[in-house]
Amino acid sequence: MLIAGHVGYTVGAVWALKALTKSDTSADYRAVAVMALAPDFMDRALFVFALPSAFDARLIAHTLIFQLAILGAITLIRRRWWLYGAASVGHLSLDSTGLSAAWARHMLWPLIGSEWRIIGIMPGSGAVTIPYQNWVWLRIQQALQPYGLAPWWVWLLEAGGALILLAFAYRKSLYQLPRLRRFLAAGEL
Ligand SMILES: [Zn+2]
């Protein structure tokens, strides 16, 4: 899934959870949005800047074990932050829409095979033989490739996420500039 899908469905889930449980505990929707994309931020950064031996833009942050560790760490820091850890764990299920055996092995690494290549890393390969800035530019282009290759149903799911965000903005009256400003400054109204 791409950006609007991840942010839209995750924000929608937190919004629905708050409505269903009639919870008055505040949730910072800015943090929810960032955490919904956190596995992509982490793995793309590793792929583009740090790991020449990575051959996939989904790496360690796209494994369940890593996500559960993050969830545990965040919850230990502050219990009510579990929601933000859960937003990051939820990223994996949203990435699971064209489920394949290779993706299941990746997500469950190291339970079904512990080789690094399962999570997109080939140790010892991919030395940087061109100037670093050229290499980073090349990696950015490779990391963006999935966006160009996404099939039609991925765009349909993206549209669903975008619609949820529009409904959210409408219900929170974010079309009124002062409310939008307040929302962006505080994450919640
Ligand atoms: Zn992802």
Say how far apart CA 94 and CA 4 lie, in whole Å. 11
CA of 3 to the centre of ligand 1 (A): 9
CA of 171 to the centre of ligand 1 (A): 28
CA of 41 to the centre of ligand 1 (A): 9
DSSP assignment of the chain equals --HHHHHHHHHHHHHHHHHHTT--S---HHHHHHHHHHHHHHHHHIIIII-TTB-SS--GGGSHHHHHHHHHHHHHH-GGGHHHHHHHHHHHHHHTTT--HHHHHHHTTTTT---GGGGTB-TT-----S-HHHHHHHHHHHHHHHHHH--HHHHHHHHHHHHHHHHHHHHTTTTSHHHHHHHHHHS--
DSSP assignment of 25-56 equals S---HHHHHHHHHHHHHHHHHIIIII-TTB-S
Residue 57, pLDDT score: 87
CA of 162 to the centre of ligand 1 (A): 17
pTM reported for the whole predicted model: 0.88
Residue 127, pLDDT score: 79
Amino acid at 17: L
Q: Where are the domains of the chain?
A: 3-186
Place of tokens 């990223």: 91
CA of 26 to the centre of ligand 1 (A): 26
Asked if 67 and 89 touch (Cβ cutoff 8 Å), the reply is yes
Residue 87, pLDDT score: 96
CA of 158 to the centre of ligand 1 (A): 13
pLDDT along the chain (189 residues), means of 10: 93 93 83 96 94 91 97 95 95 87 93 92 84 91 80 91 96 93 87
Say how far apart CA 28 and CA 84 lie, in whole Å. 9
CA of 179 to the centre of ligand 1 (A): 31
CA of 67 to the centre of ligand 1 (A): 12
CA of 8 to the centre of ligand 1 (A): 14
CA of 24 to the centre of ligand 1 (A): 30
Structure tokens belonging to residue 151 = 């099939």
